[in-house]
Amino acid sequence: MDIEEFFNRLDVGENDFSGVDLSGTDLSEVDLSGINFSGADLSGGILCKTKLWGADLRDANLSGADLRGADLRVTRMESVNLENANLLEVNWHGAEIYGAYFYNTVMPDGELVTEPNSYGLSVQTYSTLASEIVRSYKVFYTDCIGFNSLC
Protein backbone atom coordinates (compact mmCIF):
# COMPACT_ATOMS: atom_id res chain seq x y z
CA MET A 1 0.00 0.00 0.00
CA ASP A 2 1.37 3.42 -0.84
CA ILE A 3 1.17 6.34 1.55
CA GLU A 4 -1.51 8.15 -0.48
CA GLU A 5 -3.86 5.17 -0.32
CA PHE A 6 -3.17 4.82 3.40
CA PHE A 7 -4.13 8.44 4.11
CA ASN A 8 -7.23 8.21 1.88
CA ARG A 9 -8.45 5.15 3.80
CA LEU A 10 -7.57 6.81 7.10
CA ASP A 11 -9.51 9.95 6.11
CA VAL A 12 -12.72 7.94 5.57
CA GLY A 13 -12.42 6.46 9.06
CA GLU A 14 -10.77 3.12 8.40
CA ASN A 15 -8.54 2.00 11.26
CA ASP A 16 -7.73 -1.65 10.47
CA PHE A 17 -4.40 -1.74 8.67
CA SER A 18 -3.25 -5.12 9.93
CA GLY A 19 -0.57 -6.69 7.77
CA VAL A 20 0.01 -3.64 5.54
CA ASP A 21 3.45 -2.74 4.22
CA LEU A 22 4.26 0.87 5.02
CA SER A 23 7.99 0.34 5.33
CA GLY A 24 10.08 3.46 4.97
CA THR A 25 7.14 5.87 5.14
CA ASP A 26 7.01 9.14 7.06
CA LEU A 27 4.13 9.18 9.54
CA SER A 28 5.60 11.86 11.79
CA GLU A 29 3.20 13.78 14.02
CA VAL A 30 0.14 11.92 12.65
CA ASP A 31 -2.64 10.97 15.07
CA LEU A 32 -3.02 7.20 14.69
CA SER A 33 -4.59 6.58 18.09
CA GLY A 34 -6.42 3.26 18.27
CA ILE A 35 -5.22 2.08 14.85
CA ASN A 36 -4.68 -1.61 14.14
CA PHE A 37 -1.19 -2.19 12.75
CA SER A 38 -0.91 -5.79 13.95
CA GLY A 39 1.48 -7.70 11.71
CA ALA A 40 2.23 -4.53 9.72
CA ASP A 41 5.64 -3.72 8.26
CA LEU A 42 6.65 -0.26 9.45
CA SER A 43 10.37 -0.97 9.25
CA GLY A 44 12.54 2.04 8.56
CA GLY A 45 9.55 4.31 9.05
CA ILE A 46 9.68 7.76 10.57
CA LEU A 47 7.11 8.01 13.34
CA CYS A 48 8.54 10.91 15.36
CA LYS A 49 5.94 12.39 17.71
CA THR A 50 3.28 10.13 16.18
CA LYS A 51 0.25 9.52 18.39
CA LEU A 52 -0.25 5.77 18.63
CA TRP A 53 -2.14 5.81 21.93
CA GLY A 54 -4.06 2.54 22.29
CA ALA A 55 -2.86 1.20 18.93
CA ASP A 56 -2.45 -2.51 18.18
CA LEU A 57 1.13 -3.16 17.10
CA ARG A 58 1.26 -6.87 17.92
CA ASP A 59 3.74 -8.74 15.70
CA ALA A 60 4.52 -5.53 13.79
CA ASN A 61 7.96 -4.94 12.30
CA LEU A 62 9.33 -1.63 13.55
CA SER A 63 12.98 -2.49 12.95
CA GLY A 64 14.98 0.61 12.12
CA ALA A 65 11.99 2.86 12.81
CA ASP A 66 12.47 6.32 14.31
CA LEU A 67 9.86 6.72 17.04
CA ARG A 68 11.44 9.59 18.96
CA GLY A 69 8.86 11.33 21.13
CA ALA A 70 6.00 9.05 19.99
CA ASP A 71 2.99 8.46 22.24
CA LEU A 72 2.71 4.70 22.73
CA ARG A 73 0.65 4.74 25.92
CA VAL A 74 -1.61 1.73 26.43
CA THR A 75 -0.36 0.25 23.15
CA ARG A 76 -0.39 -3.50 22.46
CA MET A 77 3.16 -4.31 21.40
CA GLU A 78 3.45 -8.05 22.05
CA SER A 79 6.14 -9.64 19.86
CA VAL A 80 6.90 -6.38 18.07
CA ASN A 81 10.34 -6.17 16.41
CA LEU A 82 12.20 -3.08 17.66
CA GLU A 83 15.66 -3.98 16.38
CA ASN A 84 17.68 -0.84 15.53
CA ALA A 85 14.69 1.34 16.48
CA ASN A 86 15.01 4.73 18.17
CA LEU A 87 12.61 5.03 21.13
CA LEU A 88 14.18 8.14 22.68
CA GLU A 89 11.61 10.04 24.78
CA VAL A 90 8.81 7.62 23.85
CA ASN A 91 5.95 7.51 26.35
CA TRP A 92 4.88 3.88 26.60
CA HIS A 93 3.25 3.95 30.01
CA GLY A 94 0.80 1.06 30.22
CA ALA A 95 1.98 -0.51 26.95
CA GLU A 96 1.99 -4.30 26.72
CA ILE A 97 5.47 -5.19 25.45
CA TYR A 98 5.62 -8.90 26.30
CA GLY A 99 7.85 -10.69 23.84
CA ALA A 100 9.01 -7.48 22.17
CA TYR A 101 12.43 -7.88 20.55
CA PHE A 102 15.13 -5.33 21.33
CA TYR A 103 18.59 -5.22 19.74
CA ASN A 104 20.65 -2.08 19.07
CA THR A 105 17.56 -0.25 20.27
CA VAL A 106 17.72 3.24 21.78
CA MET A 107 15.40 3.11 24.79
CA PRO A 108 13.23 6.04 26.00
CA ASP A 109 15.87 7.06 28.57
CA GLY A 110 18.65 7.04 25.94
CA GLU A 111 20.12 3.69 27.00
CA LEU A 112 21.27 1.51 24.09
CA VAL A 113 20.33 -2.18 24.28
CA THR A 114 23.35 -3.85 22.70
CA GLU A 115 22.50 -7.52 23.21
CA PRO A 116 19.52 -9.24 21.58
CA ASN A 117 16.71 -9.86 24.05
CA SER A 118 12.98 -10.03 24.52
CA TYR A 119 10.60 -8.86 27.25
CA GLY A 120 12.97 -6.00 28.02
CA LEU A 121 15.30 -8.32 29.95
CA SER A 122 18.88 -8.76 28.85
CA VAL A 123 20.44 -12.14 28.17
CA GLN A 124 22.52 -11.61 31.32
CA THR A 125 19.34 -11.16 33.37
CA TYR A 126 17.90 -14.42 32.01
CA SER A 127 21.16 -16.16 32.84
CA THR A 128 21.14 -14.78 36.39
CA LEU A 129 17.51 -15.85 36.92
CA ALA A 130 18.24 -19.36 35.65
CA SER A 131 21.28 -19.65 37.94
CA GLU A 132 19.20 -18.58 40.94
CA ILE A 133 16.54 -21.19 40.17
CA VAL A 134 19.13 -23.96 39.87
CA ARG A 135 20.88 -22.85 43.08
CA SER A 136 17.57 -22.75 44.98
CA TYR A 137 16.68 -26.21 43.75
CA LYS A 138 20.06 -27.61 44.85
CA VAL A 139 19.66 -26.10 48.33
CA PHE A 140 16.13 -27.51 48.62
CA TYR A 141 17.22 -30.95 47.40
CA THR A 142 20.23 -31.03 49.75
CA ASP A 143 18.02 -30.05 52.71
CA CYS A 144 15.51 -32.80 51.83
CA ILE A 145 18.03 -35.67 51.70
CA GLY A 146 18.01 -36.03 55.48
CA PHE A 147 14.21 -35.72 55.69
CA ASN A 148 12.93 -38.36 53.27
CA SER A 149 9.51 -38.43 54.89
CA LEU A 150 9.01 -34.72 54.08
CA CYS A 151 10.25 -34.78 50.49
End-to-end CA distance of the chain: 62
Q: Looking at this protein, which amino acid is placed at residue 82? A: L
Question: From the CB of residue 46, how many other CB atoms can be counted at a distance below 10 Å?
Answer: 17
Amino acid in position 109: D
- Among candidates 112, 101, 95, 4, which has minimal Cα distance to 52? 95
**Digitized pLDDT (tens) for each residue of the chain, 151 residues in all:** 999 999 999 999 999 999 999 999 999 999 999 999 999 999 999 999 999 999 999 999 999 999 999 999 999 999 999 999 999 999 999 999 888 999 999 999 999 988 887 654 433 434 444 454 455 445 444 444 554 444 3
pTM for the model: 0.77
pLDDT tens digits along 57-77: 999 999 999 999 999 999 999
Cα gap 145→131, rounded to integer Å: 21
